[in-house]
Chain A
Amino acid sequence: DTEVTQTPKHLVMGMTNKKSLKCEQHMGHRAMYWYKQKAKKPPELMFVYSYEKLSINESVPSRFSPECPNSSLLNLHLHALQPEDSALYLCASSQDFAVGFGELFFGEGSRLTVL
């Protein structure tokens, strides 16, 4: 069982819809991440929050908007997505965002299809 919970597991949306992906962890981790993964590719980093502050934005288009309401929650708001945004969106957490980290705990992912 994963200790990082993501909802929904599957999401189908049209290009004009607004939806959100949610992620929750209760391990006391202070760093949380959003990754995007296409089939047969490695996870691609989108955003990193450290101590509830946005630490890294990997030049992600503004149609993806992250939010970290508190240290346990991470949201990804989606608006006006394109079909090429269809992918598995993975949330991860780690104890901290500092040297020597890298032990990421991933959620099961939200599989997004944009029509």
Chain B
Amino acid sequence: RKEVEQDPGPFNVPEGATVAFNCTYSNSASQSFFWYRQDCRKEPKLLMSVYSSGNEDGRFTAQLNRASQYISLLIRDSKLSDSATYLCVVTSLNRDDKIIFGKGTRLHILP
């Protein structure tokens, strides 16, 4: 089974700072990439899809680097409400690796 790897953190970041984390994947045939956010004891929720050209949604920017096989998430002007676990999700053509979740990166925004 192919791997999707994330730094588990926790990242402890002061409010208002910029934080970025990456997710690496080993299957070069991977097709689609997503960032999910999961609050403590809640379900995961889709935060952003990640496109080859990169995409931005407000304070959040996601990028894909196919050559180096990683995706990134940048959060600007971080808010206390950004505290959560951020899960990287990779899908591929290979049936065995259809959807793979990374183990997640924990982010704590400090007041």
Contacts and interface: CB of A to CB of B under 8 A. Distances in A.
Partners in one complex: yes
A62 B101 CA distance: 24
A102 B43 contact: no
Contact of A42 (B42, B45, B49, B103): B103
B99 interface: yes
Interface stretch (A14-22, A64-72, A73-81, A104-112): A104-112
Task: Describe B's contact surface by its main secondary structure.
Answer: strand
Contacts of B31: 99-100
Contacts of B102: 42
B98 A100 contact: no
B110 to A, nearest CB: 20
A102 B50 CA distance: 11
B45 A106 contact: yes
A99 B44 contact: no
A67 to B, nearest CB: 21
Contacts of B90: 102
Interface residues of A, number: 21
A12 interface: no
A15 to B, nearest CB: 25
Most buried by B among A2, A42, A88, A109: A42
A41 B44 contact: no
A41 B38 CA distance: 11
Nearest to A108: B43
Contacts of B49: 102-103
B46 A104 contact: yes
A48 B46 CA distance: 19
Contacts of A32: none
